[in-house]
């Protein structure tokens, strides 16, 4: 409704200009005080100069600036109260400013000013009653009048102090909400970074393994293409199947990033597991790397994180063997099922990787595969040992517990 819109705009304007609002009420209070004093003098038939005007003007100033300078206006109000006592200026309508400044200081002023305002409010009525004692009504009525006039000052201070407490409470709530929001944002950033790191590890494993297979096969095909076309053809078929497998895994990983889009159920290959290690070994054998594969213990279903970690460890280890083991290297893969975990052992008899690559951190950004292994094993609460064998070659040993890490 248009009327409500005008009212809301007026309310917002008044909130943005508190001193203007206080100045308006200060003028109203001054006018009422002067008119009341003029009417009183007319009723009494006196034309004495109105001594209240200077005090009323300053009390109006207290009202106008009470929210801009609460402590200073409180001091001015105390001085004006004492001036009224000394100059024999009886209480008037403008003294309502004393109630307002008590409330204001209790609500937004300094603590010392709030305590001073309370003391002033509790004493003002009693001091005024003594200064302008009314002998016609008796002692009891004078005491009752002092008590009655003290109550508004006490209520003004209590309301102001309650407003201060309420504002402090809402400020704490706002700060807490802002802090929680910052913590949520920080947690979200950490989760995003962790997910990116996980996807980076997956992509590294997929690309490093499959591309190395393709490079080996391509080199072999180029070498025998004239002398043994059938072997070259077989190598090209291996390159083709390996490339398709790499693309399928990369589609699965990239599909994780494409949240919000509807993907068909069969578009991406399943996440690799322990059962696919045998296919991985066969792929390596087909690329010219002799691999001895054995399983000890009773195979059984494992947590998906453990199965993926075992697969990636074997994949990275065999990739490193092809990269660093030399042309005549061979490898062995052992999977050992324990009651409380899975052991993975991959060894080769090649010349081994450079020392820098299996140190944590790698060399100039290299060695990300082994770093990724350590991270994967750490996420499932396992242990990893990687390094050269005493008799030559390289050895990677991992123990993956069945219970997730806490």
Q: What is the dihedral of CA 235, 240, 243, 249, to 10 degrees?
A: -120
18-22-28 Cα angle (round to 5): 150
Q: Which helix (H) or strand (E) holds 331?
A: strand 331-337
Q: Please tell me the predicted confidence (pLDDT) of residue 296.
A: 92
First CA to last CA distance, the chain: 59
Structure tokens at 225: 């293409």
CB hemisphere CA count around 395 (13 angstroms): 9
Contact 404, 378 (CB under 8 A): no
Contact 255, 270 (CB under 8 A): no
CA distance 263 to 302: 27
Name the strands in the sheet holding 341-348, side by side, starting at the edge strand that comes first in the sequence: 291-296, 331-337, 341-348, 394-401, 383-388
Sorted by where each begins, the domain ranges of the chain are: 2-132, 274-406
Among candidate residues 130, 133, 124, the one with its CA nearest the CA of residue 154: 124
pLDDT tens digits, 175-187: 998 898 888 888 8
Residues 6+ apart with CB under 8 A from 110: 71
Q: Please tell me the predicted confidence (pLDDT) of residue 198.
A: 66
Q: Please tell me the predicted confidence (pLDDT) of residue 4.
A: 67
Lookup result for tokens 């009417």:
39
Structure tokens at 349: 């008899």
Structure tokens at 130: 């003594």
Contact 250, 285 (CB under 8 A): no
What parts of the chain have a pLDDT lower than 70?
A: 1-5, 45-50, 192, 195-196, 198-213, 216-217, 220, 242, 245-246, 248-270, 352-369, 403-406
Q: Which CATH number is associated with domain 274-406?
A: 3.30.565.10
Kindly state the DSSP code that residue 396 receives in the 8-state scheme. E
Residues in the chain: 406
Among candidate residues 401, 395, 396, 392, the one with its CA nearest the CA of residue 338: 401
């Amino acid at each position: 409704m248009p009327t409500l819109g005008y009212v809301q705009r007026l309310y917002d304007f008044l909130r943005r200009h508190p001193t203007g609002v206080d100045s308006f009420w200060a003028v109203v209070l001054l006018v009422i005080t002067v008119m009341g004093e003029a009417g009183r003098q007319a009723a009494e038939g006196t034309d004495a100069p109105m001594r209240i005007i200077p005090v009323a003007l300053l009390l109006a100033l207290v009202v106008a600036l009470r929210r801009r300078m609460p402590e200073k206006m409180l001091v001015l109000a105390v001085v004006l109260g004492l001036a009224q006592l000394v100059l024999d200026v009886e209480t008037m309508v403008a003294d309502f400013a004393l109630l307002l400044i008590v409330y204001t200081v209790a609500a937004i002023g300094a603590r010392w000013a709030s305590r001073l305002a309370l003391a002033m409010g509790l004493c003002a009525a009693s001091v005024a009653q003594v200064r302008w004692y009314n002998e016609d009504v008796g002692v009891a009525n004078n005491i009752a009048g002092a008590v009655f006039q003290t109550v508004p000052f006490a209520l003004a201070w209590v309301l102001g102090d309650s407003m201060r407490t309420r504002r402090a409470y809402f400020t704490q709530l706002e700060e807490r909400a802002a802090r929680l929001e910052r913590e949520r944002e920080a947690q979200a950033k950490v989760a995003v970074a962790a997910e990116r790191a996980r996807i980076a590890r997956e992509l590294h494993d997929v690309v490093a393994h499959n591309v190395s297979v393709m490079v080996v096969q391509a080199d072999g095909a180029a070498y025998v293409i004239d002398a043994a076309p059938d072997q070259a053809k077989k190598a090209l078929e291996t390159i083709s199947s390996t490339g398709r497998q790499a693309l399928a895994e990369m589609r699965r990983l990239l599909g994780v990033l494409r949240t919000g889009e509807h993907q068909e159920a069969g578009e991406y290959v399943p996440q690799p597991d322990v059962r696919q290690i045998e296919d991985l070994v066969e792929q390596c054998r087909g690329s010219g790397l002799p691999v001895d594969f054995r399983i000890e213990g009773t195979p059984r279903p494992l947590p998906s994180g453990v199965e993926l970690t075992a697969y990636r460890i074997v994949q990275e280890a065999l990739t490193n063997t092809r990269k660093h083991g030399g042309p005549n290297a061979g490898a062995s893969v052992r999977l050992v099922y324990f009651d409380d975990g899975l052991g993975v052992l991959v060894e080769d008899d090649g010349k081994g990787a450079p020392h820098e690559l299996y140190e944590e951190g790698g060399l100039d950004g290299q060695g990300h595969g082994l770093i990724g292994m350590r991270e994967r094993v750490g996420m499932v609460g396992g242990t990893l040992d990687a390094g050269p064998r005493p008799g030559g070659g390289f050895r990677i040993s991992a123990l993956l517990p069945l219970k997730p890490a806490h």
